[in-house]
Every structure is written in structure tokens, then in C-alpha cells.
Structure 1
Amino acid sequence: LALYGSTESTCVIHKLKATFARFGIPEQIVSDNEPQFISEVWRNFCATCDIQHITSSPHNPQGNGHVEWAEQTAKRILKQEDPLLALMSFRATPNTSTSISPAELLMGRKIRTTLPTLQKNLRPKWPSKTSIREKDKAAKEQQAYYFNRRHGVKDLPVLRPGDSVLLKLDGESQWKGPAKVLMESTTPRSYNVSRDKVGERRRNRRHIQLLPEGVQEETFTTTTSPNQPTQKVQHCRDSDIPVEAVTMQPTITRSGRVSKPAVRLDL
């Protein structure tokens, strides 16, 4: 957990070097597509340290959910009266899915905190990595199952290179296009698409709509949904519309009496 005075690439790299000096260089780094993670300085840093940099789908925070959740946890810790004590308590608390604390996973032993404990509980003992992976996988699958069932999630059709598609982000109200699918991206459910005057972009599958077959590509450039075909509207003058004669029927009350409108004095 490190506080950044700036979001520039040089500041982020400086903080990461301090972490690497303590724990070593990781093989992979997963991040979003913020400017500090796509700069030339960052690419050179990853190449020098032999780190594989993986980015999530643009405009899709769900694809980087574990990082978003870790960020929320870090913010809650920093809001405590004693952030360092709160951080120690977090690292010593067992995970609900694996029943193992972060400290045990990293150092192979429980750490001593302000809570009383026996000395034998602090002796080094590495947990079973196979059991931890199985429990973690089962917990994630269960969470995904209930989330998909609650929100009615369905798998979208797979796109192929050359397909004509439309694009729309969450904050936009209209589908834009047409665009062409170039290839499937390395990240799950992501595609590289190309659009005139915009160039190549990477988009998540939920931001891509397959253009129906037999429909001209210009049809849906300004419509809000590709499932709503455009309709041809014919403008008519009022004189062209035939008017049928309408006979006014008298109003009859429940007792059978004919109700006549009151005649008022028109001054």
C-alpha cells in the first residue's frame, strides 16, 4: 500500500521499485488503460524488468474488478484513525474464501497483532497451495453463478474478423458505425475493431453490436438501437386526408332521460 503524490509514470515506477526491492519483481502486472500505464516510459520499464503488462478492456471496469475492489479496501484503510494499524489487521485477517490471511500467503506464518494469541500459532507453517487455489476457484465460480442468475447474464454471439458492427459505450445514447472487426483481443471478451476517421480501438463485447445481415451500413449510423429498423415516413397535407362524417349521438342518463347541454347567454 503506497500513497502516490502524482499519477505520472515516473512516480508510479518509483513506488513500484520500492515494492520490488522488498518482495522481488513480479512476472505480470495487471492494470487499466490510464495514461501512466500506456506511456513510453512505462513500456521501457516493463521491458527492462521483463514484466508482462496486461491491461483490462477499455471502458469496462468489471474486467478489472479485483483491482477495483482492492482500491476500495485501501481507501477504507486510509480513512481509519491509525492506517498502519488497520493495514496490519487486514493482513492478519483470514480470507472468507480460503480461510488464510494475506500474511500467511506471503510469509508462511501468522503475524503477531494486538490480539492475544499463543506462541505456537505464530510458528511458520506453509498452507497448502493446491487447497487454496481450489477454494478460491470454487468461491469465484459461485459468485459468478449468482451474479449471472440475478442479472440475467447471457453469452453474446462470437464475432469474426470482417464482421460489420456498431459501437456504443455506456455513457453514449446512440450506436455509432459502421466498424469492422479486425481480430479477437488477448483479454477475454474483447475485440480489436476499426472505424473510419477513428482508427483501431479495443472494445469489450458488450459495447459491440453485430450489424444485421441485409441491412445497409448507413442505416444505423444515427439510430439508438440496431434492433429498431428505420421506417419511411410519408408527409401528407391535411387536404389529402379524407374526413368522414361524424354523427353526434345524444347523451342518455341512467334513467333514460336525454341530457341536453345547457344554453348559456353569450354576451
Structure 2
Amino acid sequence: MEARGKEKEFRDFATYMGFTHRKITPLWPQSNAECERFMRSIGKSIRAAHTQHQNWKQEMFTFLRNYRATKHATTEVSPAKLLFGRNIKTKLPTLTQKYDDKEIRETDERKKDKMKDYADTRRNAEPSNLQIGDTVLVKQDKQNKLSTPYNSNPYKIVERNGTMLTAKRDNGHTITRNSSFYKQVKIPLTIVNEEKQREEPATQLRTSGRINKTPAYLNDYVKSCYVK
């Protein structure tokens, strides 16, 4: 109940502030790639400052200032200029240039689509055909030598949002993962031996009614076998 209360409080806060909270897929960093990549750059600057025995906080702020003042490779405009409408002051001289917000958004979308196509080609990505109602197995972490790649307890997909799928088990447990974590099963795994025994008994194999005749060239051999 406490967790639900906090979720409602955050939704109310988002509505009041006028922003939309977009949930990402659990255990799928690619869905939040921009933040993950930026944290990689910040971590690199902090480690460099620590190695050089410098104040890592001061070096991090210096890195952030330079990053915000540098022209971005995707938008071709610095982040500070997109936010404030002007360049921030740095030690490097700058020129004041006007920019078109619509043109920048189109450039950003075009280059991101190009990067996505490149990543999908490198990873041999294929579209998922899983639909609501399909029975699936969920990929699990490897615990020991006997662990299977997928959990043997089946789930059923109950919700889909792009590549983010939510599956539910008979006991009510739900799990949300990327589509690559699921494997569709055609035959329900809940079939037990009792159900198999209730099936019709297997019919015995019928023998052919054809009479086997000995080839003519073996007649002499067969007759010799019966000679005492």
C-alpha cells in the first residue's frame, strides 16, 4: 500500500509540473540509452580525476560545463543554447548564431533513426511476433551448471507496449521485460501424466498380410537345410 501511495504521489507531482513520466523496460538499458551513455562519460571524467589526485567534484562540474557548451553531434547545437537560447560563457570565444527549432528536431530525429538502423543491423535485430494471449517462457539468470536458460514455469502475455511486454502466471505473478527475454511455446507445459493417460490407448501395429516367398535362387539352399 505504501508503494502505491508513493506512485500516486509521483503521478500527481508529474501532472502538477507538466511533464510525462515514461517508464522504461526493466533490465534493458537500451531503453534509456541516452542517460546510460551520459553516465559513462561522467564516470570516465571522475575516474580520471581520481587517478590524477584531483578534486573529482570540481572536475565533474568542469566537464558538465564544457559538455553543455559544446556543439552536439546529433543536433549540431550545444545543449545550453537549446535550453537558454544562447551560448554560455567559457574560455573559448563564441559567435552568436540563430537556430531553427523545427530544423534541429528534424535533424535529431533523422540521425537517431540512422543510429538505430545501424545498431539493429549489427545485432541482427528482428521484429517480435509475440501477441497478447501467447504462452511464453521467460529468460532467467544462470545460477549453476544445471540452470536452464529459460524458467520452466510458463507465463501468458497480458500487455504489450512496443517491445516492452508484461506477462502473468497462473498464481498472479507478473513480470515486465523486453521482447528478447521471452520465448514462445506452442504446446502448453501444464500437461501432466494423468492427462496423457486419459487419452485413447494406442492401437497396436498391424502386421502386413503379405506372404513372404523365398527367392527362386535360394531354393537349393533351403532344401539342403532340411536334409539330415
Which TM-score applies when normalising by structure 2?
A: 0.66
Contact 2:81 2:87 in 1 (8 A): yes
State the match for 1:74 in structure 2: 42
Q: The residue matched to 2:154 in structure 1 has which SS? A: strand
State the match for 1:61 in structure 2: 29
Contact 2:142 2:149 in 1 (8 A): no
Deviation at 1:42, TM superposition (A): 5.3
State the match for 2:150 in structure 1: 175
Are 2:193 and 1:217 aligned? no
Q: How many pairs are equivalent?
A: 172
State the match for 1:146 in structure 2: 118
The residue type equivalent to 2:149 in the other structure is: Q
Deviation at 1:71, TM superposition (A): 1.7
Deviation at 1:126, TM superposition (A): 4.9
Q: The residue matched to 1:70 in structure 2 has which SS? A: helix
> Greater share of strand residues, 1 or 2?
1
> Greater share of helix residues, 1 or 2?
2
Which structure 2 segments of 5+ residues have no match? 192-228
RMSD: 2.4
- Quote the Cα distance in structure 1 between the aligned partners of 2:11 and 2:39: 22
Change (3 A) 1:136 1:169: farther
State the match for 1:135 in structure 2: 107
- Quote the Cα distance in structure 1 between the aligned partners of 2:20 and 2:5: 15
Q: The residue matched to 2:21 in structure 1 has which SS? A: strand
Q: The residue matched to 2:177 in structure 1 has which SS? A: strand
State the match for 1:194 in structure 2: 168
Contact 1:104 1:127 in 2 (8 A): no
The residue type equivalent to 1:54 in the other structure is: R
Contact 2:14 2:21 in 1 (8 A): no
More deviation, 133-142/41-50: 41-50
- Quote the Cα distance in structure 2 between the aligned partners of 1:70 and 1:169: 28
Bigger Rg over Cα: 2
